Each structure stands twice: as structure tokens, then as C-alpha cells.
Amino acid sequence: MSFTFRTTDLSGVLIIESPVFSDARGFFMETYVSSEFAREGLALPFVQENHSHSVRGTLRGMHAQHPPKAQGKLIRVVAGEIFDVAADVRPESPTYRRWVGVALSASNKRSLYIPPGYMHGFCVLSADAEVIYKTTEEYAPELEYGARWDDPVLSIDWPIRSPLLSDRDQRWPWLSDRSE
């Protein structure tokens, strides 16, 4: 078995594909094998796994955590389809304030790895979606920060225009108002 790790325009953000074995019963695939990830330089200690269910038009994001609990994330969809976004908010980075978006779905079976230092968010394109993601640090609400989904500094080209947002996601500041 061998995973395929495809680079994106953002350093460290990877699209991951695993061989899928299908027959009359259904399919089988491995979604994470530490030795395969380590060969790609991703020797990661995943410490938490989250599962969310959201309806069409929901947008969750944009979120991140400050060090020392900055999170790397390994995201995959087990039902439905999402548009998943990583935004580089590392001031020292040559791709600072750039973003990449990837369609993840139960049918394409891709995963996305987002390293620490990036904001993350996704919107639901199907009737509903179930997203499972592993993190390299536990959730630390006191270190969490975010930016508005429609922040003009990032100019993310979301495939939805009037998303369903949590109260918290509606209150994030603009990136230009954030102190670095």
C-alpha cells in the first residue's frame, strides 16, 4: 500500500490519496499509516480526533491556535462534500495571506493535511457532510483565534455566498485588525 502526497501552492499543505480496494461488499482503505506519513516528513503525533456534521451552506472557519498549541490537521470527509481551505497566516512566510481550496468528498476519498500556522475552514456543498479530522494538539480555546470568512485580505473565493455561520464565526475580526 502506498499513499500519494500531492503538494499545493502552500508549503506543507498536502492533498493525500490512499489506494482504495473495492469489491461487491464495498471498499477498504487505510486513511493514516504513521510510517507512510513519516517518509514524507510528517512524523506527527495526532492527539485528538473530531467529527462534525453540517448541513448545506454551513461554513466553519476561519480558525487556528497560537503556539505552543498550534494545530496541524488531517481532514477527510466520510459523507457528502466540502470545499476545504487553508490560509497561510505566518507573517514570515513567502505565501503570507495566500490560501488554497480543495474539494474533499466521500466519493473522492482524499484527505488534506494542513500544518500548524495556517487558518482552516470549510463550507458544505452537499445536502449535508460529515468531516473527521485529527489534530496534532488538543483544542485550547484560550489560544484560538480566527478571521472572518469573507475577509478582504484573504479574498477566499468560497463557492457559497450567504453561509450559515456560528455566532463566534460571525464575530471574528478582519485580518487587518489583528495584531501579529
pLDDT recorded at residue 22: 95
pLDDT at 92: 94
Residue 180: the pLDDT is: 52
Q: What pLDDT does 36 receive?
A: 92
Cβ–Cβ < 8 Å for 54, 60 = yes
Active site residues: 63, 133
Q: Which residue has the cell 455566498?
A: 161
**pLDDT score at 176:** 85
pTM attached to this predicted model: 0.95
- Closest by CA to 119, choosing from 176, 66, 52, 51, is 66
pLDDT of amino acid 177 = 80
Q: What CATH superfamily is the domain 46-173?
A: Jelly Rolls (2.60.120.10)
Residues in the chain with pLDDT values less than 50: none
Euclidean distance between CA atoms 23 and 110, whole angstroms: 19
